[in-house]
Structures are given as structure tokens and as C-alpha cells.
Amino acid sequence: MDFALSPEERLFLENVRSAVERHVAPHWVDLDSGRYPLERVIAGLAQSGLAGFTIGEEYGGQGGSFLMAALAAEEIAYGDPSMSSAVYFLLECTWPYMVQLYGSDEAKRQVLPEVAAGRAFIGIASTEPHGGSDVAGTTTLAREGSDGWRLYGEKSMVTGVSTALGLPYGGGFVTVARTGPQEDRHRAITLFLAMVKEGGEVRAGFRHRDHEELGRGGIPTAYLYLEGLEVPRQHVVGPLNGGFKVAMEGFNLARAIIGAASIGVARWLLDRAREWVKERKVFDRPIAAYQGVSFKYAELYARLEATRLAVYRAAWLADKYYREAAPGYTVHDVAAAGAVAKYLAVGLAVEVGLEVMKWFGGASYFRELPVNRALLGALSYYVGAEGAENIMKLIIARNLLGREVD
């Protein structure tokens, strides 16, 4: 076992840090406040090879590993702890990769180079107003016609609709839709790469409305009303009626990188708190002199270090299974490790956020002090994004105990 990064990974990390210092960190508060466009951050990341980072070189991408993606996600979230930039980065490491794995040659050739150039966005449209955890209960309908498919239904909490509409080429969503009877649940679900803007042209057949969000102000999340949006046959992702499994694979991969981004937020918060607890004097002593503060700092730091290992392992397993097709690794290993990574890291980031806000005292409640923006970013993943905490436990328990736990 070797805990050191390879020379290639170390060099990569240095390059990511300088890209983040240039394109992300100086702008994150303005991005979170809606005063700086995400498109400019995307252009900067694309210039540094960080758009659609896991997309293969044959489609203009970097062919980056998931471990490197995890390293980058931590740094990007450290540079923008509101998480908006990291959310963009991790979604583009995941859903375009699923298109690459399961999409048609035509769809891959058409869309992936645009994502890798930072000119297009591919997200996920799974959640519906009746709930997000029960993906097998999807009610959005896909109807087949002579010229392809049309989608009808309502998705909610879809991140990046405005982002796709704001990019020069456009983008779309790996969309979960029903292609058979409701009672067939996960066996009658297909994935479609539904483009909302393509080649610079906004498509007909959909509407959207941004949610009013607590945090993550740089990357809006929206209702997506599908009103007959056309999807050509070549934009079916994976087998007909076999989309449920593919969607789960995408979520598994995303969760490892979400874990890494959450580590970045937690590290940023602890770093901001370090100077503060040494400087802030209460009852004539720096608050770091009180063990109620310093022991908690030590505990959170120790958990951060341990959680980072779980995150790296999840990303490493994803590389073993997807990139190396190494014998002895299964998709269940990737699923369980991704759930562990998300469960531990997101919970930790939220706990660190609450604790650090207490150390900063009342001032932390006001927008002038950016620590609350970091807590709100982490909270998005705590309450649900890419799977609720109980669902992470369900996946882990199912992997350990079998389907009896369902």
C-alpha cells in the first residue's frame, strides 16, 4: 500500500491549484452572489483541461482518472466553498462519462467534444416533484414516434438548466423516463440524452423555472417541464428499459467526487478557523486556548483525514472497475464505496460548517463573512442532492446484508 501520489498526480495537483487560484478563488463570492457568471469559470477550467475531465482523448477530453478527478474536486471546492464550481466540475466528470460508456457513437461525437471544450453542459434529470429517492417510480413518459422519442413530464431540482442555456453550444440532461408500464418499475425505465440547446439553438418542447435556493448561488437548479421535447433515437443512453442500472452507475461515480468536493469545503472551513481561533480573544485568552475549541478542532481534523482516505478509495475503485476493468472488482464495490464517501464527507462538511460558524460567533450569520456560504453549499448534498443520507445507508446496508434490508 502506497499513500503517496505519483509524480504525475502531484504535477496535476499543482496545475489544478494554479488554475483554481486564477479562475475560481478570486471570484467565488461574486459567483455565489450572482455577480459573476459561471460561464467565465467554466471557460477558465476548460482552458486548464478541467472541463469534462474524464471524457476520453478521442472525444477531445483529458481521459482523466477518477482519482485525479477527486483531487481536482477537492481543490476546486477549496477555491469555491459555495460548491457551485465543484458541482459543475463533478457533474461534467460523471454524466458525460455515462454518455461515453453507454451512448451511441453519433451522440458521443456530437456532444462530448463540446463538453470537453467548456461549450456544453450535460447534467442529470431524475428527480420528480413526487420524490427523488425512488427513481424506479419515475412517471416522466417517453413516447416513441416515427422520428424518435418525445418526453412528457415534470422534473424538479435539475441543476444546470440555465447553465446549459447560457453556454455557446448548449447542453442537455441524461433524463430518466418511463418506457413501459408503471408497475414494471425499474424494468421499464430508459435514459435519454435530452438536449435543451444544441448547436447554439434552444430546442422547443420544454420550459424551465429556477428554484429559489439557499446556497450554491453560482449554479442554478430548476424545474424542467418536458412538453414533448424531441430526442432522436441516437440519444438513447444504454439499453431500452435498462436505464435504471445506468442511472445508478452515474450516481455511484458522482458520489465519490462529491465526497472529494465536500472534503475541500471542510478543509477550507478548518483553515479559515485556524487563524481566527488563535486571534479571537474572549476572557483575555484566544479561544484556541480553551479545550472545548481546540479538541473539537483536532477531532474534526482527524475525521477529515480519515474521510479523505475513504473518498480516495471510492475514486480508486471506480478507476479499477471502469478504466482498468481489473478482475475482482464489481459495480457493487463502486456503489458501496461511493455511498460511504458521500455519507461520511458530506456529513462531516456540514458538521465542520456548523462548528466553525459557532467559533466565528454571531458575525458568521451575516453575509459579509463567507463561512455561511460554505455551510449552505455542503448542505445541498446533506439534504438530498445525488441521493439522501438514508439512501446512502440503504446502499451500504444492502451491500453488506443483502436485499433483506429493503
Ligand X SMILES: Cc1cc2nc3c(=O)[nH]c(=O)nc-3n(C[C@H](O)[C@H](O)[C@H](O)COP(=O)(O)OP(=O)(O)OC[C@H]3O[C@@H](n4cnc5c(N)ncnc54)[C@H](O)[C@@H]3O)c2cc1C
The residues binding ligand X (CB under 6 A) are 123-127, 131-133, 157-159, 216, 221, 380, 383-391, 394
Q: What is the DSSP letter of 83?
A: S
Least Cα distance to 266 among 224, 227, 308 occurs for 308
Query: What minimum distance in Å lies between the beta carbon of 191 and ligand X?
Result: 12
Cβ atoms of residues 195 and 256 within 8 Å: no
157 within 8 A of 125, measured Cβ to Cβ: no
Amino acid identity at 104: S
Of 313 and 373, the one with the shorter C-beta distance to ligand X is 373
Min CB(259)–ligand X separation in Å: 16
Classified as helix, coil or strand, 195 is strand
Grid cell 421499464 — which residue? 188
Nearer to ligand X, 48 or 126 (CB): 126
| Closer to ligand X by Cβ: residue 68 or 341 | 341
| Burial zone of 78 (CB within 10 Å; 0-12 exposed, 13-18 middle, 19+ buried) | buried
> Whose Cβ is closer to ligand X: residue 133's or residue 139's?
133
For residue 317, give the 3-state DSSP assignment: helix
**Residue whose CB is less far from ligand X, 54 or 127:** 127
What's the closest the beta carbon of residue 6 comes to ligand X, in angstroms?
Answer: 33
Q: For the chain, how far is it from start to end, CA to CA, in angstroms?
A: 35
- Name the minimum Å distance from CB 184 to ligand X: 20
- Least Cβ distance, residue 172 to ligand X (angstroms): 12
Tell me how far, at minimum, the Cβ of 12 lies from ligand X, in Å.
Answer: 27
Nearest-approach distance from CB 237 to ligand X, in angstroms? 14
Rounded to an integer, what distance in angstroms lies between the CA atom of residue 331 and that of residue 224? 30
Nearer to ligand X among residue 142 and residue 288 (C-beta): 142
DSSP characters over 17-54: HHHHHHHTGGGHHHHHTTSS-HHHHHHHHHHTT-SSTT
Complex with ligand X: residue 5 or 214, whichever CB lies closer: 214
DSSP designation for 131 = B
Q: How far apart (Å, rounded) are the C-alpha atoms in residues 220 and 402? A: 38
